[in-house]
Structure 1
Amino acid sequence: MKAMRPWVLVIIAVVSALIGWVATTATNRYSMPTPVLPLSALATMGVIALLTLVMGIQVLRWRNGKKKTMLDPIMAARTLVLAQACAYAGTLLLGWHAGISLDLLRIGTLRSGEGILWNALLMGGGGVVMIVVGLVVERFCRIPPEDFEGGTGNGTEKRRGESKGEGEYAYRGD
């Protein structure tokens, strides 16, 4: 698997913010409710982030030498996929709710939507937490340089097929 690129996350956030802003503008024009997630979604986001972090810490402990048992490669791959999904979902949630917040800030206090604004800001903050957890756990899943075949452990070697600048994960494609 390839590492996530921050610029892709930024593009996703900007596009979803634009879509969120357009959706909020359209729903306000037709007197429909603002399309913001309820506060109960924060609990779900927290559980997902916590589960991702716990699984990532297990991989990190194994990687750093606390190897009581062999690491299940399927669990490590699932942890990596969960971390990347967490970061992508957090990016979408952050962008969507940022677009909603911008529209609500634009109209100011013309209507009683202050509770909705705080709701959107909290959901955007939850998205930031998911992004951070996803990126950190993705780093946990990298194979250290000393694990490369035939390496001396100084980190300058390249595995066969490794592209320049790409990190390796707990997946061996040989």
Structure 2
Amino acid sequence: MKAMRPLLLVIIAVVVAAVGWLAALAAGRYSLATPVLPPSALLTMGVIAALTLFMGIRIQRWRNAKKKTMLNPILAARTLVLAQACAYAGTVLLGWHAGIAVDLIRIWSLRSDQGILWHTLLMGGGGLVMVAVGLVVERFCRIPPEDMEGGPGITDPRRGEAKGEGEYAYRGD
């Protein structure tokens, strides 16, 4: 699995922002509700970001420790996948709500319900937090270059033997 590219995240956010802007225009034209997630979605976004950060901190603690035991590679892989999914989902949410916010700013003085803009900006901020957590946790999942040689000292608790090169958990390369 390759590392995420921030440029790709920006491109995704811009494309989704354009789609969100068009959706907001269409909703306004046909007198539909603004297509914004409900406030309860912030709770869900927060739980996902917190879980991702919690799992990432576990990986970072192992990485910074003396490594007497081997890290569960399934845990490392799941944490990495969760971090990347969190970043991609946050990018989509940020882009969607940014596009809607652009449309709402355009008609700011004409709307009777001006609180929807603040709600949209709050949802976009939640997406930004998810992107940041995803990128940070992805960094936590990388093993430092000095550990790439695979020195002795890592023992497999199942066998009690030292592990050499290639026996580490996911390296992120």
Scaled by the length of structure 1, what TM-score is found? 0.85
Deviations 1:103-128, CA, capped at 9 Å, x for gaps? 00001121223111111000000001
Q: For 1:89 and 1:63, locate their aligned partners in 2 and report how far apart those are by CA, in whole Å.
A: 26
Q: Report matched runs for 1:1-174 at 5 Å.
A: 1-65=1-65, 67=67, 69-149=69-149, 170-171=169-170
Alignment: residue pair count: 158
For structure 1, list consecutive stretches of 5 or more residues without a partner in the other structure: 152-158, 161-168
1:142 maps to amino acid: R
The two structures, once aligned, show a CA RMSD in angstroms of 2.1
Per-residue displacement from partner, 1:25-57 (whole Å, max 9, x unpaired)?
001000000000011100000000000000000
Aligned residues with identical type, % of pairs: 76
Equivalent-residue separation in structure 1 for 2:89 and 2:150 (angstroms): 38
Shift of 1:66: 5.2
Q: Is the 8 A contact 2:142 2:170 kept in 1?
A: no
Structure 1 residues 103 and 67: alpha-carbon distance in aligned structure 2, compared to 1, 3 A threshold: same
Shift of 1:65: 1.3
Residue in 2 that maps onto 1:164? none
TM-score, structure 2 normalization: 0.85
Q: Which runs of 5+ in 2 are unaligned?
A: 152-164
Stretches (4+) displaced over 6 A: none
**Distance in structure 1 (CA, Å) of the matches to 2:3 and 2:79:** 13
